[in-house]
Each structure stands twice: as structure tokens, then as C-alpha cells.
Amino acid sequence: MLRRRINLLFGGDEKRVDSRTIYVGHRPCPATEAFIPPKFCDNRIVSSKYTIWNFLPKNLFEQFRRIANFYFLIIFLVQVIVDTPTSPVTSGLPLFFVITVTAIKQGYEDWLRHKADYEVNKYPVIVLEDGRSIRKESEKIKVGDIVEVVEDETFPCDLILLQSTRDDDTCFVTTASLDGESNHKTHYTVPDTEKDLQSLNATIECEQPQPDLYKFVGRMHIYKTDQEPAVRSLGPENLLLKGATLKNTKKIYGVAVYTGMETKMALNYQGKSQKRSAVEKSINAFLLVYLCILISKAVVCTTLKYVWQSQDGQDEPWYNEKTQKEKDTYVYLKMFTDFLSFMVLFNFIIPVSMYVTVEMQKFLGSFFITWDKDFFDPEIQEGALVNTSDLNEELGQVEYVFTDKTGTLTQNNMEYIECCIDGFQYRNSDSMSELDGFCVTDGPVSKLQQKAGRDKEELFLRALCLCHTVQVKEAGPDEIDSDQVDGLVSELSQPDEQRGFIASSPDEVALVKGAMKHGFTFLGLENKSMKIRNRENNVELYDLLHVLNFDPVRRRMSVIVRSKSGETLLFCKGADSSIFPRVRQEEVDRIRMHVERNATEGYRTLCVAYKQLSPEEFAVADAGLRDARLALQDREEKLMAVYNQVETSMSLIGATAVEDRLQEEAAETMEALQGAGMKVWVLTGDKMETAKSTCYACRLFQRGTELLELTVRTLEDGGRKREERLHELLLDYHKKAVQDAPPVKAGVTRSWSTANQEYGFIVDGATLSLVMNPSPDTNSSRYKSLFLQICQNCTAVLCCRMAPLQKAQIVKMVKNSKGSPITLSIGDGANDVSMILEAHVGIGIKGKEGRQAVRNSDYAIPKLKHLKKLLLAHGHLYYVRIAHLVQYFFYKNLCFILPQFLYQFFCGYSQQPLYDAAYLTMYNICFTSMPILAFSLLEQHIAIEYLLDNATLYREIAKNAMLKWGPFLYWTVLGIFQGLLFFFGVKYLFSNPALQDNGQVFGNWSYGTIVFTVLVFTVTLKLALDTRHWTWINHFVIWGSLAFYVFFSFFWGGIIWPFLKQQRLYFVFANMLSSVSAWLVIILLILLSLLPDILLMVFRKPRGPHARQLSEGSLLQTARSLPSPRCPTSI
Amino acid sequence: MSKPLKKISLTKLLHQNKNKWSFIKLRQFYQSLEKILKETCSYAELCTNNGHWLDYTGTEMNSSCFSCSSVKPDCVCELTFSFSQLFEGPVFFYYGLSNYYQNYRQYGVSKDANQLSGDTTYFLSPQDTCSPYQYDSSGKPIVPCGSIANSKFNDTFKLYLMVNGVKTLVPFDGKGIAWWTDYNVKYRNPATVNGSLAKAFDGTVKPPNWPKPAYELDPSDAANNGFVNQDFLVWMRRAALPNFRKLYGRITGGDYSQGLPAGNYTLQINYNYPVVNFKGTKKVIFSNVSWMGGKNEFLGLAYLVIGCLCVVMAIVMLIVYAKYKFSDDDDMQ
């Protein structure tokens, strides 16, 4: 801290390596010792990963880094090297297929990137060189070049704006392609640069490239002959980012500071860290189990083989003599190759195609969210957006929902309600007929029909008009619609004043409009002077000297203006907590009551204060601000310090109340989420009272909910040390909520409407930081776990006065708590980004506060109400689908390979495959892949309407219920049962292998084909039994797959294939079908293996949880829809 | 043993004694199950299990083939048996081997499909998979090469019916015992050289275990000679399980088209094929075939059991349904 002060005082600019010096126009500067042209990277953008030459090796390397692919590669290599039962083709072909498809997809994506890169890199730009404009390719721009950009062009690299054709030295840009915000942003030229860029002699010192789009610190030294070099500070408002587009400005000149891969856009290009879903962890666990099964099968077979061979006469019967090579092979080596052979034979139990199917399911499945018409919002003409398809099923597993308040629970559509000036309340009546209605129509609501003095009134209204960063929208005819999307709140209703206001926060617009209703109109900012029209329709001009920007830590903003009369005024507005300590206490007492009452009504309140600056005071403040703005390091901190210095000893003039309406169906959505067993936490930067009332309005807190409060207020109640009080309260609450509460059974049985006492927990930012970062001397590391336990036992938790980072901290704490619950964050603003990134699933709302949240989210929805369907319907269904997909895949491969394993016992453990190579290869690729893919995309085991109506259904799949070991065991047992049935059923049939009516005998390939036919039909029909929601696609793929199997078998066995060494399946299938016995056994075995499922279906239906709730749900519905007269008669 | 029981009609039994009937039925069921699960039969006489069969391995001292089981080739032994009533035809005659692993993998690949499809270019250089029956000790290629062909079953059978003390030959029809596609498409003889099949095999030797080369398998019938010899084709279609049977011939000729009449029979066996050293057994099977294929007790039993199960379940479910339905009605009232 001390060092910062010192730096502040001395302008602290020690040279650091992490800044770069740029010579504008490559002109050497007199001041610097020697002109060393610094080396920077060129302006070539390389977003592509591969070149033609390295594509194959690099792509293959990356693909085989995946453990599954590597495993299959090993199996393939074993097959190539060792004499194995199946040809390398059987595992090589699927692997090749998977690798090729992935490579093609990645190659195509890379080709698109190449194309885009080429377009960007070859784009012609105009560069000023030695007084001439030279056309260059974009990639040839070097740092220090002066670049000309005309209207509607994108900037080829990051530029410092030197000159604009606009009169006021500004230019407008949109950054739609960078962060999605389509409003126009104003950027400023470096002040006092020469008009003639040729004679400009300057260097720019700025920080090394960093990815934050909204941060830039730099300094420009301008050297003029015979003068001291002038220094100008550079900020993000001077920087034009590559990728942004110039608007409303004919032409600008700028000097390139960051080029190519060092531009902020390129630095931001590196994708977000991958989020992995819990389902994948389950898959990996199951894979491990199956790997163990596989290895133990191979070990068992190898062992038994040698035990069996040790018996007399079994090793080498005369009809099957060994080759000389075999005889010579060392026995342990033989054992090892036998083991490998068995591995190869059984390796199909681990399905290569499952990964492909899961990927495809996720990729295609995400389209259903994008396409959902219910998510379409007519207001913004947009639907949902899916940024990550990896997390679809995670939506069905959410246990904690962290929601922002402003813009998420509420509409962030601010409406000015009332103000309070000097303790007198002014409520605006709804009638807008009288234009100057402030005095006439607005009666104070308070019983005292009194008003503040006119001076105070006008001062207050002027403050409202001046203390903001609102811009007046120039109503260009073509821009009205485009800007309505973002930022622009509304046009004024007056036809003669087609103007709108653009502001970073809607509160400001609401306040400016509120002032307008009271007769003070903000006309705009011109040449650093603000124009307002007062009640007498006179235009007043104020010079805008400084804007002390708003930030969430200070929670206030100020302006310093100079009126025409020469007074220097500071207006400050901000949250009561940040204003009250800085004004005189007697003023506070008059206004506090109003503020608190407004807050409990759910309004957002802001206090307005002012201060008259003496010229001396101003000079000090001015110098401090300028110094701080020039600082290269710690600029933020320095600025903050100056702000805090300036904003003291103000006088409070009033407070405003702005209403933020609840989102549509916010209460219903929250109720549904709680009903689904999710815990909803509201994390907001807002005041406690406001947030609390919002929570009540959203029914997060109900009338019966007992609120446990852990805020600064309660901590200071006892008048003791905060830490002690905190300790006491925590223990007290813990006793109440955790120890005394009846033991909560697993989510399924607990209903949200039980008579249990419900607790709501309220904590504020300051207290939270006490809990999270306890002072080291106290033995308070327990606080965190106590706090967490209390929170987990409360139905709703409200965290108010949160800084963005604290939000993420809370999410992280819950995420890492016991049982690692799945968390979801939903928010709409930049302050929610940290928690959106932190949570397992991040959801952005396409709200009014820009697109940052949407950009960083995994899913974006237009409105809060869509969350209900996203979780309860889509999330639930995707979870069930993918769980079924995974279980089914393991099951179908188990009963595929089990007969082959059993066959080893009857073929002398000789690794004789039961099925033909074609069947082995095609089983997972063609015969059984499509039905499960279609199922996993389209299945709705419970209709969406029911899911939405009965939120409790969501509890049934909580905690990864369908991928627990129980269901896994069920599927495994089913697979084993069916595998045994297939094998032994056919084996007993083959006790007399003469199956044809002409007495001819079937051989081993017929055996395998019968087993395989039963297998394919059973596995497919099992899926058909599981399918609850039949579409034509399901019908097509299920019956189509079976038909394809039959067709393929005929085809494969119907021709002598010239490329095959052995025609072992020649006419096997056709002969099989000509045998009535084979038909009978196939039908019998299919029925028998499906019997458990059919029985389960029949017996489960009347008792199963699904059916009961469904019927209850429908009963309730009918009861609700029916008028009640039946009830009395029935009694 | 169970035959007389079968004759009593079920309805009669039902009337007589309900409990007894179910007991008998159970016992019968158990015996059938035992028969299916155990394929051996201790009787020296004909065993009935998926057809009538007769073990002739000759491991037992009192068996007439006992002497042959240890003695080298061309040993002849005779077995006698009788049918007490007409064994309805058409009767199929199978030979069966047990503990014989024709489905052994290395054994299964030990053949050259190109040779067998009559491609003479592969006659002089058989596939490596045929090893150790690829070349003989003098380096000459073996045709047909490989273990399967080499181990072709070479016992021959002659069946005599004793009519008035006179042996009359019951002819076996060896045609059409192999798959039509094997006989007509998959296996082809090499093109004859100067009208002689033997010349096509020039430069090759017969498999070591064969008494005569392939082109002399059936010199009397060109359509049954060489690679398209039906016995050879039957052998080449590998059995699925270590206990298997293969079709030897049909008894359809003349007097026997109705089946084998009651009487005493003698089976004369040319005992060549060694099985004792790998603990195998050999047997012959007389079986008749219906439209469903060969006699298979498993299938019938399985359907019976499953059918009963389904009926029981149907009744249970009916009861359950009725109960639930009534309780629903109660609720409604």
C-alpha cells in the first residue's frame, strides 16, 4: 500500500520489461538514445492448427492421445503382429472409420479456418508511408505503421486512434464480432496530436499484449521540436480493437500497437477450458470394470487352455498336429501370445463406437435445444444458444442453482418510481399529460403536504441530469432498429424528440428519464460540455471536467462539472452504503427512512450527493486524476485512491427509487426448481432489503421461512467484536438448521411442501469475506464448513452485496464441498461471468447488459423462464438418454462377446471366433448403432408436459442415479443372462446338428450365425421395448437395422467374394433360414431373453414411481380442471 | 422304458389319479432332461436320444470292435442290433465323434480354399496355413493340403438285415448328403488334363493319412470324385462342437423307402479311424427327419416348458389384474 502511494506521488514509472515501445510511423525519436527497431510479430493471423504437411502426423498424434483410440491402436497392432484369431481388419476398420471421420471433421474445420485466415491476411489495407498512402496486404502491417481505415471496415490490428474525420475527435465502433455487443461505442483520439501525421514524432509505451478486451494502459510521448515532450495517457477508449468495425465515421488513422497473434482478438481466441460432465466419469469407471472383465476373461481362458492341454492326448491330437514353428516356440512366449490372442478376441466388449456415438449424440442433441421453439423470444428474435454440447446431460443433474438478481430474476428494465429530496417524497403520477408537471401533478405521498425548497429540487434534478455516462442517441434513420437490440432502452414518446439514451446500465437511463419527467432534459454531450434543458426551457451548459467511473467495489460514480457561472461541482450518486459514510450525518437521518422503505418495497435506491469544489480543491483533484491516469502500473488502484479522496464530505441531497420488475414467470420458475430438489442461491450485488424483497416476490422465501441473517448488521448488534459475534451466530444457526433439523432423507422422498421448518439464509459480502478469509489468529477454519453446512440445509440462500469474485468464490466453495454437487450459475451481466465460468454449467441470459455473460456461458437463453424447461425437460431427458445410451452400449457388447467367450470352452481354448469377421466388424458399426443413436436423441420416457408439471420427477435422476452401480449391475446381469441364453440355447439345439429337412448337418459358422441373429434381434428389440416415444425415425432405424442385417447377411453369403481367402459364410445364412428348427430356436430365444424385460415392464407399471406420479399428476390435473361439485356428493 | 407309459392316454390318467399323473409327468420330464444333458448312454444296445445310436469305439472289452480299436488299418468288426417295430423312414445314417475338436482354430484354417475350388496354380504351392500338411517330407505339395483334409473320416459301413438267417445288404445312398452349394459352387475339381482327373494332380502327393489320392475317392462316379466327393464335402464342413455327427448316407432305396422294418440287423464296420488316443468315441446314429429337421428333443421340451411358464404367468397376471381392477373399483366408490 505504501509503495503504491509512493508510486502515486512520484508518478511511478520505473521501466519494466513488460511494456513495449512503439515508434509511430517508424520515425526515430530524438529523446531516445538509439533507435532500435523493435521486433514484433507480423500481422499474420494463424488460427489454423494444421498445414498440409503436418496435418496427417499431427492430427493422428492428437487423436491417438485419447486413451480409447490408443487402446484400439494397440489391439490393432497386436493383431497385425501376433497370429490372432480375427484378422486385423475387424478392429482396424472401425478404428480407421472413427479416425477418418474425426480427421475429416477436423480437417474441414481447419480448412475453414485457413480460408478465414487467408481472407483476413490478404485483405487490402492502406498504410501511410513517407507521406504516401500505400496499399498493402493486411498481413504485412508492422507495429508502428499508421493505418487508414474507412467506414464499415474492420480494423486490421489493434490501433491507437490518432485522427478521425469527425469534428469532435471521436469515432464510433461496434464490437459485435468480439463480444457480441452491437451498440456503438465511442472512442477518442489521443488529445493534442498534430493534424499532420507526417510530422508527428511520437513514441507509445504500452503494456505487453494481454487478452482482456476492456483493459489497456499506455502512454504516448509526443516530441515537438524545441519543446519538452508531451505525455498523454492512453486507455481502452483510445484503442481500436482488431475485429471491431468502424461506424458513423468516414475515415480514421491509427497507429498499430498490437499485430497478428498479439492482438486482443487473437489472444482471446484460445478456447475456454473444457468442462467435462459427470457422466463421462461414470463411463470411465464402467470402462475400467469392462477392462477388468476383459483381462480376467483372457487370463481365465489362457490358464484353462494350458490346464486342458496338460491332459493326456488333448494337447496335440493326431488330426491336429502342430507346425514345426509352434513346437519350437518357447512355452511362456506362447502363453503370452495366447493371452494377447484372447484379448483380441474379446476386445469387442469395449466398444470403439461408443465414443463416436456419445459424441454424435451430444453434438446432434444440442441442436434440439437450439431448435426449441419454446425458447424463442419474439422480443429479441432469438432462441437459445448452445456453446458447449458436452454438458447436455449435466443439465439434468443440477443440485445448486446460483442466480444473479438484476437482469436475471428481475427484468433489468428500470422504471423511475419516485425520488426523495431533502426528506420529502415526490412520487411521479402516471399521467404524462402535463409536461411541466413536477409542481402541479406530483403530490408528495407523505402526509405532510410539504416540499423541499425549489433550490434543492433543481439542484437534485440537475444532479440527475449531469451525474451519468448516458449518451444521447443520434437518430440516424437506418440505425434505429439495429440498436434496439442492445443498450438502447426506448425511444422517447414525444414525436418531436426522436431520441433515445444509450448507457451501460439501465438505471442511469431510468434516472435521466425520471429527471425529464420532472422537467429537466439532458440534451447531450458536445465538446466536453453537457447540455441540459431546465424547466424554463432554457438550455444550460456544463463543462464536463472529469468522470469518476462507476465500479462495483466503490458502488458509486461521480462527475465533476463546471457551470457557466464558474462553480465547480461534484455530483455523486451511488448505493446508500457507499454514500452515507461520506455525507453529513444529520442529512442521512432525514433520508434513511425513505431509502429503507423503498428498499423493502423492492426498489433499487440510489442516493445523490454533491459538493462544491473550491479552485484549490479542484486543482489537487485534477492533478491527482491526471497523474493516476498516466500511470502504467496499478492504474486502477491509483485511480481508486484519488476517487476516494475526492468523494468525501459531500452533502446529501436526495435519493431515488427505481423499480426493477420481476422477470416473466420468475416465481414459477424458482418454485419449479426448488420442487425439483435444487437449492437456489441468489448472489447479488444489491442491497439486502431489495434482494430480500425480490426473494419473497420470487417465492424463494415463503411466509413460513425462518430467515437466518448473517450480515454486518447482525454482527454489530451485540456491540462486541465481530469475530466473536460471528462465531456465536454461526454456532447458533448451525444448531438450528443442521443439528435440530430432522434428518433429511435422500432428495427423492423430501418434498418441498412438507411441514418441516424451512430456513432461508442471508449473508452479505463483508461477512462472507470474514467467513472465507478468517483472520489467522482465531481458530476459525471451522467457519467455512459450518457456514457451508448451514447453507446446505436451507432451502434458499441469499448472498447480497457480493463482488463478482465473491460470487465465484461461493460457487467454488459449494462445488468442492462434500459429494461435489453439480452447480449451475445463471446470470446476464459481466459481473456474473466469473461465476458462470466457475460453475459446472454456466447459463447466460441474453439480457440488456451486453453479451459478455452469453459469450462465456455454456448455454444462453433469452429469458429466465426458459430455465425451467431447459433443466426439467431437456436436462432430464438428455441425462436419461445418455445414461441409457451408455448402459445399453455396455450391455449389448457384453451379450455380444459372452457367447464367444463361452465358445472357447468348447473349442479347446483355441481362440476360434464364434462369429464371422464381417459380423464382428459390423455389429457395432452398422447393425446396432443407429437405433440407439436415434433413441438417445428422441426418447422421451416421460412426456415433456409431465416433466414440466411435475418438477419432483427431476429428483429421481438426481446424483447420477441412472449410472450408479445398481443400474449398471442390472444391465450387466441382463447382458450375462442373455449371453448365456444365446449360447446354451443354440448349443442344445446343436446336440443334433442335422437341422435341415434333408438331414444335412450344420457346421460351426451356422452355429455362430444363429447366435448372432438372435443377438441382433434381441438387442434391437430390447431397445424397442425401452422406447416410450416412437417417431417415424425410431421405426425407420429399428426396423431398418433389422432389415439391413437380413439383407446384408444374404448379400454377404450369397456371393463368392474374390478378395476373401475363405468363403466360410457362403450360403450359411440362407441355409439357416431354410431350417425350421433354426427358426423355432431363434424365435424361442428372442422371446425368452426379452421375457425379463417384458415382465418387468408389466409388473412395474402399476407400482413404478413413474407411473404413480404420472397418474397422480394427471389426477391432480383433472381434479384441478374439474369444478368441485362432485366432491360433496361423493362423501 | 417310457414307451408303455406314453401309450396310456393322458385323459385316462387324469381321470384315474391326478397326483400320480403329475408325478409321472415330472419323472418323465426329468428323464428327458437327463438324456439331453448327458449324451452318453451306457447300453450296449441302441440308445434313443435324438435318434437311435450305437457306440462302436471298442473301448469296452465285450465290444466286438475292441480288437479293432488298437489294431492298425482295415480291421473289420460287426455290431448287431434289432428294431422291434418298423423304424419309420426316410432313415438317415450318421456317424458321430466325440471329444473331437474340429472347431479348433488352427485346425480350422488349415486348408486352401483356392486348391479346393480347383485352381491348379495353388496345387504346387499350397497356402502356409496348411502347415504341417503343406509339403510332405520330400518337399512335394500335398493336395488337398491341410489338417482338415488329412484327417478325413475314413471308416466305412455296411448295414445288413437278417432275413431268415440271410444277410441282405441295406444300401446307403451317399448322394445329396453335402450342402448343395458346397457340391455345386464352392468346391470344384481342377480341369481334367486329357480327360483325366489324375493328370491334373501331377506333381502332388496325397495327404499322408489317406489311403488313396483325391482323384480316386470314387472312381466309379466322376460326379462324386475328387474334391466334390460328398463324404469329403461333409467332412470339410467343420462341426460346431466337439461332439458332433455327420451324415453318412440315406436309407431310401427300394424296400426301405418306408423305413427299416423290424428285425435283426448287422452293421459291418471297416474300422480305420483312431479315436482312442485322444479319448474320443465313435458312434453311428439312425435318425429320421421331419419337416422341422432332425429329431431334437431340446426344442420340443423348451417350447413345452416356456409354454407352460407363459400360461402360468398369464393366469398370475390375470389374477393380479383382476385384483387391481377391483381395488380400483373400490376406490372409485
Of A67, A68, A82, the C-alpha closest to A350 is: A68
Between positions 76 and 115 of B, the ones with CB within 8 A of A are: 90, 92, 94, 100-111, 113-114
pLDDT band at A52 (very low <50, low <70, confident <90, very high): confident
- Shortest CA distance from A321: residue in chain B: B132
pLDDT band at A486 (very low <50, low <70, confident <90, very high): very low
Torsion angle, alpha carbons of A152, A158, A163, A164, to 10: 20
Instruction: Answer whether B150 sits within 8 Å of A85, measured CB to CB.
Output: no
Q: B95 vs chain A: nearest CA distance in angstroms?
A: 11
Which pLDDT does position A9 carry in this prediction?
41
Q: B101 vs chain A: nearest CA distance in angstroms?
A: 6
Instruction: Answer whether B106 sits within 8 Å of A322, measured CB to CB.
Output: yes
Which residue of B33, B37, B39, B103 to mutate against A (max A Cβ within 10 Å)?
Answer: B103
Q: Find chain A residues with C-beta within 8 A of B106's C-beta.
A: 320, 322, 326, 910
Does A405 show up as a binding residue in the annotation? Answer: yes
Decide which of A1121 and A729 is more confident.
Answer: A729
Averaged pLDDT of chain A:
80
Instruction: Answer whether A907 sits within 8 Å of B278, measured CB to CB.
Output: no
pLDDT band at A474 (very low <50, low <70, confident <90, very high): low
Q: Find chain B residues with C-beta within 8 A of A1001's C-beta.
A: 94, 234, 237, 239, 244-247
Decide which of A329 and A412 is more confident.
Answer: A329
Domain boundaries of chain B, sorted by first residue: 1-40+297-333
Domain boundaries of chain A, sorted by first residue: 141-268, 353-368+873-1098, 385-409+663-737+758-861, 413-430+522-660
Contact status of B312 with chain A (Cβ, < 8 Å): no
pLDDT band at A742 (very low <50, low <70, confident <90, very high): low
Q: What is the pLDDT along chain B (333 residues), one digit of tens a residue?
A: 334 434 444 444 445 445 555 666 677 777 666 655 554 554 445 676 667 888 888 887 777 888 887 766 678 888 888 888 888 878 899 999 999 999 999 899 899 988 999 888 889 889 888 888 989 889 899 989 999 999 999 899 999 998 888 889 999 988 889 999 999 999 999 988 888 888 889 889 999 989 899 999 988 988 899 999 999 999 999 999 999 999 999 998 778 888 888 888 999 999 989 888 888 899 899 888 888 888 888 888 899 999 999 899 889 888 888 887 755 544 444
Instruction: Answer whether A907 sits within 8 Å of B313, measured CB to CB.
Output: no
Q: Which fold does the domain A413-430+522-660 belong to in CATH?
A: Calcium-transporting ATPase, cytoplasmic domain N (3.40.1110)
Place of cell 463543462: A543
pLDDT of A22 above 50:
yes
Q: Are B218 and B229 in contact (CB under 8 A)?
A: yes
pLDDT band at A182 (very low <50, low <70, confident <90, very high): low
By mean pLDDT, which of A383-392, A751-760, A936-945, A998-1007 is the weakest? A751-760
Which residue of B57, B112, B136, B278 to mutate against A (max A Cβ within 10 Å)?
Answer: B278
Which pLDDT does position A33 carry in this prediction?
54
pLDDT of A518 above 50:
yes
Which pLDDT does position A1102 carry in this prediction?
47
Amino acid at A1007: Y
Does A250 show up as a binding residue in the annotation? Answer: no
| Cα angle A684-A690-A693, degrees, rounded to a multiple of 5 | 105
Does A549 show up as a binding residue in the annotation? Answer: no
Range A933-957 average pLDDT: 91
Q: B147 vs chain A: nearest CA distance in angstroms?
A: 6
pLDDT digits (tens, 9 = 90+) for A1019-1070: 999 999 999 899 999 999 999 999 999 999 999 998 888 888 788 899 999 9
pLDDT of A755 above 50:
no
Instruction: Answer whether A1001 sits within 8 Å of B279, measured CB to CB.
Output: no
**A385-409+663-737+758-861, superfamily in CATH?**
HAD superfamily/HAD-like (3.40.50.1000)
Does A377 show up as a binding residue in the annotation? Answer: no
Which pLDDT does position A749 carry in this prediction?
39
Q: Find chain B residues with C-beta within 8 A of A1080's C-beta.
A: 292, 299, 303
- Shortest CA distance from B320: residue in chain A: A1099
Q: Find chain B residues with C-beta within 8 A of A1112's C-beta.
A: none
Instruction: Answer whether B105 sits within 8 Å of A997, measured CB to CB.
Output: no
Q: What 3-state class would DSSP assign to A811?
A: helix
Q: Are A634 and A832 in contact (CB under 8 A)?
A: no
Torsion angle, alpha carbons of A879, A881, A884, A890, to 10: -100
Decide which of A750 and A822 is more confident.
Answer: A822
pLDDT of A692 above 90:
no
Between positions 207 and 266 of B, the ones with CB within 8 A of A are: 234, 237-247, 250
Instruction: Answer whether A1102 sits within 8 Å of B324, measured CB to CB.
Output: yes
Instruction: Answer whether B313 sits within 8 Å of A990, measured CB to CB.
Output: no
Which pLDDT does position B246 carry in this prediction?
94
Q: Would you call A1115 exposed, middle or buried from its count of C-beta atoms within 10 A (0-12, 13-18, 19+)?
A: exposed
Q: Find chain A residues with C-beta within 8 A of B102's C-beta.
A: 1004
Q: Find chain A residues with C-beta within 8 A of B108's C-beta.
A: 912, 1004
Instruction: Answer whether A992 sits within 8 Å of B51, measured CB to CB.
Output: yes
Contact status of B176 with chain A (Cβ, < 8 Å): yes
Q: Does domain A141-268 have CATH number 2.70.150.10?
A: yes
- Shortest CA distance from B246: residue in chain A: A1001
Which pLDDT does position A501 carry in this prediction?
77
Decide which of B85 and A930 is more confident.
Answer: A930
Among candidates B108, B110, B244 on the partner chain, residue whose Cβ is nearest the Cβ of A993: B244
Q: B86 vs chain A: nearest CA distance in angstroms?
A: 20
pLDDT digits (tens, 9 = 90+) for A1101-1130: 543 344 444 444 444 444 344 333 333 333
- Phi, psi for B72 (deg, rounded to 5): -75, -175
Dig out the grid coordinates for A567 from the structure.
Answer: 462553480
pLDDT digits (tens, 9 = 90+) for A795-837: 889 988 777 778 888 888 888 888 889 999 998 876 787 788 8
Q: Is the pTM of this model over 0.90?
A: no
C-alpha distance from residue B232 to each of A127, B102, B214, B227, B238 (Å): 89, 14, 9, 7, 11
Which pLDDT does position B327 carry in this prediction?
56
Dig out the grid coordinates for A253 from the structure.
Answer: 488513422
Instruction: Answer whether A313 sits within 8 Å of B179, measured CB to CB.
Output: no
Decide which of B31 and A880 is more confident.
Answer: A880
Range A75-102 average pLDDT: 82
Does A329 show up as a binding residue in the annotation? Answer: no
pLDDT band at A275 (very low <50, low <70, confident <90, very high): low
Does A107 show up as a binding residue in the annotation? Answer: no
Sequence-distant (6+) residues with CB within 8 A of A404 are A682, A683, A684, A807, A826, A827, A828, A829, A831, A832, A835
pLDDT band at A452 (very low <50, low <70, confident <90, very high): low
pLDDT band at A31 (very low <50, low <70, confident <90, very high): low
Which residue of B298, B318, B330, B332 to mutate against A (max A Cβ within 10 Å)?
Answer: B298
- Shortest CA distance from A309: residue in chain B: B278
pLDDT band at A329 (very low <50, low <70, confident <90, very high): confident
pLDDT of A778 above 60:
no
Which residue of B105, B129, B227, B295 to mutate against A (max A Cβ within 10 Å)?
Answer: B105
C-alpha distance from residue A828 to each of A485, A1113, B320 (Å): 15, 34, 55
Q: B42 vs chain A: nearest CA distance in angstroms?
A: 18
Dig out the grid coordinates for B103 from the structure.
Answer: 472347431
Amino acid at A759: Y
Buried b / exposed e over A143-176, threshold 16 CB at 10 Å, is bbbbbbbeeeebbbbbbbbbbbebeebbbbbbbb
Of A473, A464, A455, A483, the C-alpha closest to A416 is: A464
By mean pLDDT, which of A300-314, A782-796, B146-160 is the weakest? A782-796
Instruction: Answer whether B296 sits within 8 Å of A992, measured CB to CB.
Output: yes
Does A831 show up as a binding residue in the annotation? Answer: yes
C-alpha A79/C-alpha A922 separation (Å) is 18
Sequence-distant (6+) residues with CB within 8 A of A158 are A239, A240, A241, A242, A256, A257, A258, A259, A263, A264
What is the β-pairing status of strands A500-502 and A471-473?
antiparallel
Most confident of A509-523, A1011-1025, B207-221: A1011-1025
pLDDT band at A438 (very low <50, low <70, confident <90, very high): very low
Instruction: Answer whether A908 sits within 8 Å of B101, measured CB to CB.
Output: yes
Q: What 3-state class would DSSP assign to A162?
A: strand
pLDDT band at A927 (very low <50, low <70, confident <90, very high): very high
pLDDT digits (tens, 9 = 90+) for A893-924: 999 999 999 999 999 899 999 999 889 888 98
pLDDT above 90 coverage of chain A, percent: 20
Q: What 3-state class would DSSP assign to A309?
A: helix
Q: What ipTM is given for this predicted complex? A: 0.88
Among candidates B111, B147, B279 on the partner chain, residue whose Cβ is nearest the Cβ of A319: B147
Does A189 show up as a binding residue in the annotation? Answer: no
- Shortest CA distance from B240: residue in chain A: A1004
Instruction: Answer whether A994 sits within 8 Å of B292, measured CB to CB.
Output: no
pLDDT digits (tens, 9 = 90+) for A130-160: 778 888 888 888 888 888 888 888 888 888 8
pLDDT of A1078 above 90:
yes
Instruction: Spell out where B25-83 has E strands.
Output: 47-48, 52-55, 75-83
Q: A910 vs chain B: nearest CA distance in angstroms?
A: 5
Positions of A marked active-site: 404
Instruction: Answer whether A991 sits within 8 Å of B36, measured CB to CB.
Output: yes
Which pLDDT does position B43 carry in this prediction?
44
C-alpha A104/C-alpha A353 separation (Å) is 17
Range A65-90 average pLDDT: 82
Q: What 3-state class would DSSP assign to A977?
A: helix
C-alpha A1009/C-alpha A1068 separation (Å) is 8
Which residue of A301, A319, A1064, A1083 to mutate against B (max B Cβ within 10 Å)?
Answer: A319
Which pLDDT does position A184 carry in this prediction?
67
Strand order in the sheet with A239-240: A132-137, A124-129, A146-150, A251-258, A158-164, A239-240
Instruction: Answer whether B51 sits within 8 Å of A1003, measured CB to CB.
Output: no
Among candidates B150, B179, B298 on the partner chain, residue whose Cβ is nearest the Cβ of A1067: B179
By mean pLDDT, which of A335-349, A386-400, A577-591 is the weakest? A577-591
